[in-house]
Amino acid sequence: MEAAMSEQSLSTPVVIATPNTRKVFVKTYGCQMNVYDSERMTDALSKDGYQATDVLEEADLVLLNTCHIREKAAEKVYSELGRLRDMKKARAKDGREMVIGVTGCVAQAEGKEILRRAPAVDLVIGPQTYHRLPDALRRAKGGERVVETDYALEDKFEHLPAPEKAKTRARGVTAFLTVQEGCDKFCTFCVVPYTRGSEVSRPVSQIVAEAERLVDGGVREITLLGQNVNAWHGIGPDGTEWGLGDLLYRLAEIEGLARLRYTTSHPRDMDDRLVEAHRDLPALMPYLHLPVQSGSDRILKAMNRRHTAAEYIALIERIRAIQPELAISGDFIVGFPGETDQDFEDTMRLIETVGYAQAFSFKYSIRPGTPGAEMDGHVDEAVKSERLERLQALLFRQQREFARTCIGKEIDLLLEKPGRMPGQLVGRSPWLQPVNVDAKTSEIGDIIRVRITDAGPNSLFAEAIR
């Protein structure tokens, strides 16, 4: 999985519950797909009377939805489980139950080892089996310590209940929608093929139906998710093989759906139809997250990326030729085994050539079980740190320069949430930056015309055009 399905730690939004309602607290680590998975898990549990809470102390059920993309991810989970163990013991003394579950990619990678190292854990559920969560929970309450980490033969999405309209409205006017899972690329630094499995694409009809339900619930912007989202493919209503571009054209027809985005992509899967969608679809935002990881052909080959730096640059130039407003985001890894000073300078040269609106960058970290872990030539940590500092300084300068080019532009802004100041609302620009605007006469969900007036380090400021 590309690193830039950005790392975060979130708890599920609070839902007001009646006094006797059982409550579930979900702590979400990692990428947007985990955020989506957490929401679907709470949907699956709602039929059993569970409602989400953002107050840990209220919870009868605590789920840690984990990410394995970064080094020491599992250790962070075990540290959290230690705190939960103490809380569970204290609750038991008061005659109150607390069930603890670990879900997501660490659950998939560690499996039964979690039960051995953390006896307070009642159930372990991998990302391909969370539709079985209600049944696993019933078994755990019966005294069984449950591990569900096989790759399910059934389609989990077919077994998940559709979220209630009121719950969709409570989650806001933007939404994630997973359309593809797993990866067949086997980049040598990446654990995703081992934790999420092979590439699987959801059917067109299933995706369209979920998108229509989201829009009916008040959603105005949908971001399509996949570990390798532009590898999505399926049979369309006309009986032909569709790619992600065809799917975007179909979703753009949904009345009330104002904006579309997608992440995360692989350069080898940007076909002509998807490129054309950036030209033809006003709803498709002019923003593309396209990881490259390195600018050195030698390192790209060692990473098994199966493209060259020149091919990557040519692809971006082709898309920009038909969509001049396109902003590019990327991922970079410094210090991959065998990376020389010259390899690193090749990466810096690629960054200068492309010009990024934003990017995510990391020092290479060993992921057990991946080919990279067994390679010779591991780079000294001090060298990695120095290279990362230089690379991030360049990327930050480019981000600031891109933000400054936005000043004076007029854009349509989807208002998503309240700002910090009275009367202020926040949306995101077409290029994904937060935009703060004084909009006392507007409401969340409105799309208003604004003019960008200033640019901060991480956000823009605008005035409404009346």
Residues in the annotated binding site:
31, 67, 105, 183, 187, 190
Strand partners, 66: 104
Which amino acid, 219? V
Locate all alpha helices (DSSP H) within 217-355, ordered by sequence: 244-251, 272-280, 297-302, 309-322, 341-354
CA dist 368 and 379 (Å) reads 17
The DSSP symbol for 231 reads: G
Q: Which residues are annotated as a binding site for [4Fe-4S] cluster?
A: 31, 67, 105, 183, 187, 190
Report the candidate in 76, 71, 62, 61 with the shortest Cα–Cα distance to residue 29. Answer: 76
CA dist 290 and 329 (Å) reads 6
Q: Please give the backbone phi and psi of residue 279, each rounded to the nearest 5 degrees, phi first.
A: -85, -40
Report the candidate in 331, 323, 321 with the shortest Cα–Cα distance to residue 358. Answer: 331
Does the CA dihedral 41-46-48-53 come out positive or negative?
Answer: positive
Is residue 465 classed exposed, middle or buried when 0-12, 13-18 and 19+ CB atoms within 10 A define those classes?
Answer: exposed
Which amino acid, 38? S
CA dist 198 and 171 (Å) reads 30
Cα within 13 Å of Cα(32), Cβ side:
23
CA dist 330 and 309 (Å) reads 13
CA dist 4 and 424 (Å) reads 29
Report the candidate in 348, 350, 361 with the shortest Cα–Cα distance to residue 315. Answer: 350
To 10 degrees, the CA torsion angle through 128, 134, 139, 142?
150
Q: Return the number of other C-beta atoms located less than 10 Å from residue 343's C-beta.
A: 22
CA dist 138 and 125 (Å) reads 13
The DSSP symbol for 350 reads: H
- Residue 252, token pair as written in the block: 């753009």
Cα within 13 Å of Cα(405), Cβ side:
13
For residue 89, what are the contacts with CB-CB under 8 A and spacing of at least 6? 120
